[in-house]
Structure formats: C-alpha cells, structure tokens
Amino acid sequence: MVEFIHIGDVSPAEIAQLREVYQPLAESVRELIDATIRTEVDADTVAAVRAQIDAATAQLRAQQCAGPFGVRCTTDGDRMAWGNPVIGIRNPFAPPLVVHRDADGRVYADFDMGAAYEGPPGHVHGGIAALVLDHLLGEVAADGVNPRFTGTITLRYLRTTRLGRLHAEAKITHSEGVKTYATGHLADDEGVTVEAEGVFITPKWAR
C-alpha cells in the first residue's frame, strides 16, 4: 500500500511560505546542473567549485527527513508532491511541469527542457519523454481527486523531440470499472513528436 504523509493543519499561507523558501533553492540547483553539464572552465576552477558545493551539501544535510520526501497531505486535502521528478518544486531534476486542467478535464503543460534532458544531440531523451507522458496521463486519469496508477502505457515516437520549449497534454477516453483509459502527446514547435495511450488503475486500498 502506498502511504501518504499527513502533516495536519497547515494553512495555505504556511504552505506558500515553505514554497518561497525551498523552490528558489531547487531553481538554483537546477541552474547548477545545467552549468555543470555545459561548463568549460579549467581544472582549478572545477576543484574550487566542487569544494563550495560539498560545503553547501553538508549544510543542507545538517537537518533532513529520513528517506524520500513523499507526498505530504494537509488536513484540507492539499497534496505536496514536492520531490516528484516531473512536477516537484523541490526536485532540481524536475523541469518542473505546472499542470493545468481545462473545464472539460483535459490536462496540459508548457515547459522548457535543456541540457539535463538530452538524449540524441540537441534532442530530448526518449525515456524523459516517457516520464513526462506517464505523469500527464496519470494526472488526467486521477481526475484531481482519485489516485490511479499506471497499469500499462504505450508510446509511439513519431520523430525526435527538440530541446527547448515543449507542450504536453492528455485526456481521458473512457473508464471501465477500476480502469481509466487515457491518451496524450508531447510536442515541440514543429508539432507532435510522441503519442501515448495508457491504462490507469485505482489501487485496491483506494476503492
């Protein structure tokens, strides 16, 4: 069974304050990741920067949670998936996606991907495309309320996806009992690059 971490009565103002503290940290580390990949400075500069990074890491490890961040839930039902590798505002690896939901239930996100997500030169790694679409399809299948996890997902790569500004979207096609069927796609500025369809299942403990 998947366990969510309940953190009790935390007000929206307190959540916003936590966001203001930790989101900029992740943004700075995200920039550091990009700089680490692309830098061409000399060995002495690399050594000096590494010492600074190691010192900063030690400061952050002075007080930390045991294990992963998890999904933290408030009494009001807010879910903080801040460690998530797709949408997590505290995860420097996450682009992160900001997922929007239309009145008709469709979900979509517009986001940027740079050097950290490269597979073929100048293009997004196929596994990263799969990661994004798995999350988007799962997001729409969950309908903002009910947890539904990936049963199967099928991807069709039409062509390589260029790094840069991207768009992803997903929608539910139909439901059958505990199964929800969804489709979606990833696109760059020239159009759709990857199509996806999947089956998402309500876990036994949530039925």
Total structural domains in the chain? 2
pTM for this model (two decimals): 0.92
Looking at the structure, do residues 27 and 89 belong to the same domain, yes or no? Answer: yes
Check if the beta carbon of residue 91 is closer than 8 Å to that of residue 97: no
Distance CA 47, CA 55 (A): 12
Res 148: pLDDT? 92
Res 177: pLDDT? 93
Looking at the structure, do residues 87 and 126 belong to the same domain, yes or no? Answer: no
pLDDT along the chain (207 residues), means of 10: 77 90 98 98 98 98 93 82 96 96 95 98 98 97 85 98 98 96 98 98 85
Looking at the structure, do residues 68 and 111 belong to the same domain, yes or no? Answer: no
Among the three residues 51, 75, 94, which one is the final residue of a domain in this structure? 94
Q: Which residues contact 197 (CB under 8 A, 6 or more apart)?
A: 137, 153, 154, 173, 181, 182, 183, 184
Looking at the structure, do residues 12 and 60 belong to the same domain, yes or no? Answer: yes
Res 158: pLDDT? 98
- Do β-strands 72-74 and 5-8 pair in parallel, antiparallel, or remain unpaired? parallel
Distance CA 183, CA 153 (A): 9
Among the three residues 60, 94, 128, which one is the final residue of a domain in this structure? 94
Looking at the structure, do residues 69 and 106 belong to the same domain, yes or no? Answer: no
Res 164: pLDDT? 98
Domain that holds residue 197: 97-206
Res 39: pLDDT? 98
SS3 103: coil
The pair of three-digit structure tokens given for residue 3, joined into one six-digit string: 């366990």
Exposure b/e, 110-130, CB count within 10 A at least 16 = b: ebebbebbeeeeebbbeebbb
Looking at the structure, do residues 119 and 174 belong to the same domain, yes or no? Answer: yes
Res 165: pLDDT? 98
The sheet carrying 179-188 orders its strands as 100-101, 107-113, 164-176, 179-188, 191-201, 149-157
As beta bridge partners, residue 174 has: 181
Res 1: pLDDT? 61
Looking at the structure, do residues 70 and 104 belong to the same domain, yes or no? Answer: no
Among the three residues 71, 94, 117, which one is the final residue of a domain in this structure? 94
